[in-house]
Structure 1
Amino acid sequence: MAKRGAYILLFLFILHDSAFNQLLRLPALVSHYRYHRALNPNIGFGDFLSIHYQLEDDGDNDQEMDRQLPYKHIDGHSLQQVFVPLAKVVDIKAVTYEPVNLHYPVLKDHNLPEPAISSLFRPPQELIA
C-alpha cells in the first residue's frame, strides 16, 4: 500500500510541476470545439486547432474561452524540494595506524661521486706521460 501511495505522490508532483497539468484542460478543448462546431458545422478538428494555436486572434471574440485551452498559457511558478532522510545510521570509525620505523644506512662521504669529476664540463687535467 505504501508503494502505491508513493507512486500516486510521484505522479502528483510530476503532474503539478511540469506541463502535464495542461492535460487536465482537455475537456475545455472538447467543449470549445463543440462550441465552434455549433457555429460552423464545416470546421474540422485540425482547422480548429490551427485557428486557435497558429493564429494570434481568431476573430470570434471568445478570448476568455481561448485562454482556457490546454497549452495556450503555461505558468510554471511552483518549486518542490524532496528530502529523503537516510534509513541507516552511518558510523565512521577512526582507524589507528602503527608508525613504521625505517632504518636507512649511513652513507660515507668517500662513497659518494664527486660532481666536478663526473660532470661533462670539467677543468683541464694534466697529462702524465
Structure 2
Amino acid sequence: MKKICIYILILLMVPDGSLPDQLVKLPVFFLHYQEHKLRDASIDLIDFLSMHYWGEDLNDQDDDRDMQLPFKKIDSHSQQVLFVPSVRIAHQKDYVFVLPRNESVYKSQYYPDPSLPAPFRPPCA
C-alpha cells in the first residue's frame, strides 16, 4: 500500500515540474536532520520523518526551517488544463449481414433448345 501511495505521489508531481525543485532541497533535509540529531541523539530517520511530514512537530520554534524541507511546501508554477471537446463524434459501426443461401452452388451446364416447347416449331427434317 505504501508503494502504491508513493507511485501515485510521484505520478502527480512529475508532470507538475516541481520534482526537480524539491530534489534541490534535499541538502536542507539532511542538515535539518543533523540539527535534530544534535538536540536529541535518540531520534532516528523514521521519527524525524513522522515528526515533520506525518504527525505533530515539536514546539522547538523552527517552523521557518521546517517549511524549507522538500515536499513540505510545493510551489506549483504550471497550469493544468483539461480540454473536453464540445462536439461529440459518433462512430457508426459497419455491419455485415450474412444471409443463408437456400440455392445450391451447382450450376447447370445444360441449355435446352428454346424452340422445342414453342407451339410454332420449324419443320424437322
| TM-score, normalised by the number of residues in structure 2 | 0.47
Q: Which has the higher helix share?
A: 1
| TM-score, normalised by the number of residues in structure 1 | 0.46
